[in-house]
Amino acid sequence: MRHRILPLALAATFLATPTLARAFTTAAADTTTSAAKNDDASTKKDTPPAKKAKKGKAKAAAGGKGTGATMEAGIQPGTMPVKPETTPEHIQVQHILIGFSGSVPGKNITRTQAEAKTLAYQILDRARRGEDFNELVRQYTDDSPPGIYGMSGIGVAPGEGEYPRDRMVPAFGNVGFAISPGNIGIADFDANASPYGWHIIRRLK
């Protein structure tokens, strides 16, 4: 089944971008985990047994490795980044691109870079709290809905309708391959690895 892809001008740039040696494959999955470990360490001595039990339940409900963020009220199970047990050879993701003025060829975007970052993290939070991801794509993406892409891993022959990972924007694949199905991650703007803005990425399979 073939999906709509990026507008022509943007697609050409996405596919022409070379893979960078400097990848951040596990950065999105590990950032919140590191922060949570610091939080747990600072509160461990003062946490009564009953509260510790509640924390354990919250982690289990999140459907993966517990982090401080997964314990926030309203976060849906399985949406926080969990690194796959083995690196997948093929993935399918859906994304919301939030660009800023001048970042996306052919798009008349007026928001500033700071406004784009704020909006991207607001959408990330809403998606993790269970809002319809397809509707968020329709409302906000600076790509074309539904924003679904198949990718093959480095050195793996792409299947029908898939793109090789090393011919996509590096951050797009780095986040997509670092999370498990159902998880939602974010690729932050980076002039080299993610030049079009912020990508809110949900792994479908």
pLDDT given for residue 128 in this prediction: 97
The string of pLDDT tens digits covering residues 65-87 is 444 443 467 899 999 999 999 99
Sequence ranges of the domains in the chain: 8-26+83-203, 30-71
Answer yes or no: is pLDDT of 168 > 60: yes
CB distance 70 to 60 below 8 Å: no
Residue 116, C-beta contacts closer than 8 angstroms, at least 6 positions apart: 98, 99, 100, 103, 109, 189, 197, 198
Percent of the chain with pLDDT over 90: 60
- Could you tell me the two tokens for 163? 């793109």
CA-CA distance, 182 to 173, in Å (whole number)? 16
8-26+83-203 CATH choice from 3.90.600.10, 3.10.50.40, 3.40.50.300, 1.10.10.10: 3.10.50.40
Cβ-count burial of 41 within 10 angstroms (0-12 exposed, 13-18 middle, 19+ buried)?
exposed
Residues 97/142, Cβ–Cβ less than 8 Å? yes
Rg (CA), the chain: 18
Give the residues across from 149 on adjacent strands. Answer: 93
Lowest-pLDDT range, 2-16, 74-88, 123-137? 2-16
184-187/198-203 β-pairing: antiparallel
* Residues ≥6 apart with Cβ < 8 Å to 91: 150, 151, 153, 176, 177, 203, 205
Residues 14-44: tens digit of each pLDDT: 443 333 223 333 333 333 333 334 444 443 4
Residue with tokens 């470990």: 37
